Amino acid sequence: MFRHLRTLHQVTRRTITSSTPRQLENKVPAKQKMFQEDNGMPVHLKGGAKDALLYRATMALTVFGCGYVVYVLINAAMPKKKE
Q: Give the three-class secondary structure for 27.
A: coil
pTM here is: 0.59
Is the Cβ–Cβ distance between 35 and 43 less than 8 Å?
Answer: yes
pLDDT at 19: 55
Q: What is the pLDDT of residues 13-68, one digit of tens each?
A: 655 555 566 788 999 999 899 889 998 888 888 888 999 999 999 999 999 999 99
- CB-based burial label for 83 (10 Å; 0-12, 13-18, 19+): exposed
Distance CA 65, CA 72 (A): 10
Domains of the chain: 33-83 (4.10.91.10)
When comparing pLDDT for 26 and 8, which is higher?
Answer: 26
